[in-house]
């Protein structure tokens, strides 16, 4: 694995993982606490989250869906590697390790990596995840020659206020996707539910845009590139599902799959 780059926030957690688990998040994040078993079905076994993780972790069913889709290019039981470039407290990395290939989980906040490592242990997958502290802009270029099979990114959206605009601006993520595509053509990025199809087409060109629903409510949007496009979509519908649209200018193909 590459050396840890210097631009890293080397701050250890103020609380231990056990203290994080025992602590309820502040009042304004209360809705996430009430959904804690939807975020992690093993939450009660000791899952530890900090404040940013409470509102940014991918709910487990959606993360498992991402993992099954990335398994199309990085199957479980092979030497394939998935990079989770903004791993946070580990929600996606855990599911990649469970359903797909080995994971290199990167985050620039060392304190959050401590929680992610702990959470991977709770799920019994820590041996299939390497955690690395680093800034994606520094780390991704170092991974180019290393045979990465897919890159997944769940970047910060600017906090829960992302919803205050009717059409979330996707343009700031174009450079990030371009950087990831130099590491592997197979890239997935998790974006807000309020991104518009036409803005995605204008900013990214051809890709697949997938709407992720839980309990019948739209939660997130995932864009897929490379060989991930159109792979792993079983045409079904339900309360927990993913609706997909191929982005090619304004043309679209829709399908749905159970999470």
- State which of residues 98, 99, 102, 219 lies at the interface with ligand MGP (CB under 6 A): 219
- State which of residues 59, 90, 134, 232 lies at the interface with ligand MGP (CB under 6 A): 59
Length of the chain: 259
Contact 88, 114 (CB under 8 A): no
* Cα(153)–Cα(20) distance, integer angstroms: 24
* Cα(241)–Cα(257) distance, integer angstroms: 5
Query: Per rule CB under 6 A, is residue 157 in the interface with ligand MGP?
Result: yes
DSSP run (H or E) holding 92: helix 91-99
Query: Per rule CB under 6 A, is residue 61 in the interface with ligand MGP?
Result: no
Query: Per rule CB under 6 A, is residue 154 in the interface with ligand MGP?
Result: yes
Considering the complex, state which of residue 87 and residue 148 has its C-beta at the smaller distance from ligand MGP.
87
Considering the complex, state which of residue 29 and residue 258 has its C-beta at the smaller distance from ligand MGP.
29
- Residue number closest to ligand MGP, CB atom: 157
Considering the complex, state which of residue 131 and residue 213 has its C-beta at the smaller distance from ligand MGP.
213
Q: How far is the CB of 259 from ligand MGP (least distance, A)?
A: 13
What is the Cα gyration radius of the chain?
17
Instruction: Select from 104, 111, 52, 60 the least CA-distant residue to 83.
Output: 104
Considering the complex, state which of residue 211 and residue 245 has its C-beta at the smaller distance from ligand MGP.
211
* Cα(124)–Cα(215) distance, integer angstroms: 27
Binding range to ligand MGP, per CB under 6 A, among 108-116, 156-164, 179-187, 194-202: 156-164
Angstrom distances, CA of residue 187 to CA of 9, 149, 179, 190, 203? 26, 9, 10, 10, 15
Degrees, nearest 5: CA angle 31-94-159: 40
Degrees, nearest 5: CA angle 248-148-128: 120
Tokens read off for 134? 């680093």
Considering the complex, state which of residue 80 and residue 176 has its C-beta at the smaller distance from ligand MGP.
176
Q: How far is the CB of 58 from ligand MGP (least distance, A)?
A: 5
Instruction: Select from 238, 244, 239, 241 the least CA-distant residue to 224.
Output: 244
Considering the complex, state which of residue 67 and residue 80 has its C-beta at the smaller distance from ligand MGP.
67
Query: Per rule CB under 6 A, is residue 160 in the interface with ligand MGP?
Result: yes
- State which of residues 5, 162, 181, 243 lies at the interface with ligand MGP (CB under 6 A): 162
Binding mask of the shown chain, residues 97 to 136, with x at each position contacting ligand MGP by CB under 6 A:
----------------------------------------
Task: Give me the residues that bind ligand MGP (CB under 6 A), please.
Answer: 31, 55-59, 154-157, 159-160, 162-163, 190, 217, 219-220
């Amino acid at each position: 694995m590459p050396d840890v780059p210097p631009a890293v926030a080397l701050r250890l957690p103020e609380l231990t993982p056990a203290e994080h688990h025992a602590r309820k998040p502040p009042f304004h994040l209360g809705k996430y606490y009430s959904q804690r078993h939807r975020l992690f079905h093993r939450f009660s076994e000791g899952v530890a989250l900090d404040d940013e993780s409470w509102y940014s972790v991918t709910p487990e069913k959606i993360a498992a869906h991402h993992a099954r889709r990335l398994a199309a290019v990085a199957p479980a039981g092979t030497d394939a590697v998935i990079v989770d470039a903004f791993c946070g407290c580990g929600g996606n990395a855990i599911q990649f390790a469970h359903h797909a290939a080995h994971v290199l989980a990167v985050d620039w906040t060392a304190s959050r990596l401590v929680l992610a490592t702990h959470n991977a242990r709770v799920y019994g997958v820590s041996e299939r995840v390497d955690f690395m502290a680093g800034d994606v802009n520094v780390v991704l270029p170092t991974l180019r020659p290393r045979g990465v099979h897919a890159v997944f990114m769940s970047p910060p959206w600017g906090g829960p206020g992302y919803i205050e605009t009717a059409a979330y601006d996707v343009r700031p993520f174009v450079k990030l996707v371009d950087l990831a595509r130099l590491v592997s053509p197979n890239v997935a990025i998790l974006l807000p539910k309020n991104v518009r199809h036409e803005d995605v087409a204008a900013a990214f060109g051809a890709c697949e845009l997938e709407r992720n629903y839980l309990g019948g409510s739209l939660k997130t949007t995932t864009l897929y590139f490379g060989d991930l496009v159109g792979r792993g979509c079983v045409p079904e519908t339900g309360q927990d599902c993913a609706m997909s649209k191929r982005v090619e200018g304004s043309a679209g193909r829709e399908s749905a799959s159970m999470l």
